[in-house]
Amino acid sequence: MEENKTIFEILLVEDSPGYVRLMMETLKENSVPSNLSVVMDGMEALAFLQRKGDYIQAPRPDLILLDMNLPKMDGKEVLAEIKNDPDLKRIPVIILTTSSEDQDILKSYDMHVNCYITKPIDLDRFTAAVRSIADFWLTIVKLPPKELNPMTLY
């Protein structure tokens, strides 16, 4: 990513309208310089990422926030598709879900998720978690450049 880039592309894969609205409000209230794209199920997430159908002009996200419990295709299946795709695997994926089950956490890290966060139920804690995600992933971390074709690096 270029040092002077100020707007980050975030893809939120979330089927709960309440969490979507809360994420939008939290990013806006905390002045996170981002464009938030939202898809509601796993199949739609892959169409967005692969720029198919209605998503032919979709922006390439800098960061993916992925729920585990999704209709049509669950988060684990979406994560597997992302991490097995040479064009997508370098995009950081954060699991943001209600599950705190050890098996879900272990499976996600086995599949190369970059971060696993259990959604706080409390509004203040949720806001703090989103702020922490934005601070870390969009300010501190050096994200991979979008322009390079991963196949030309080898």
**Higher per-residue pLDDT: 148 or 71:** 71
Domain membership flag for residue 64: yes
Reported in sequence order, the residue ranges of the chain that DSSP labels E, i.e. its strands, are 8-13, 34-39, 63-66, 93-97, 115-118
How far apart, in Å, are the Cα atoms of 21 and each of 40, 56, 76?
12, 25, 23
Q: Find the CATH number of the domain harbouring 108.
A: 3.40.50.2300
Looking at the chain, the whole-number percentage of residues with pLDDT higher than 90 is 70
d(CA 152, CA 154): 6
pLDDT at 1: 41
Q: Would you say the pTM of this structure is higher than 0.85? A: yes
- Domain of residue 33 covers 8-145
Domain membership flag for residue 1: no
Domain membership flag for residue 95: yes
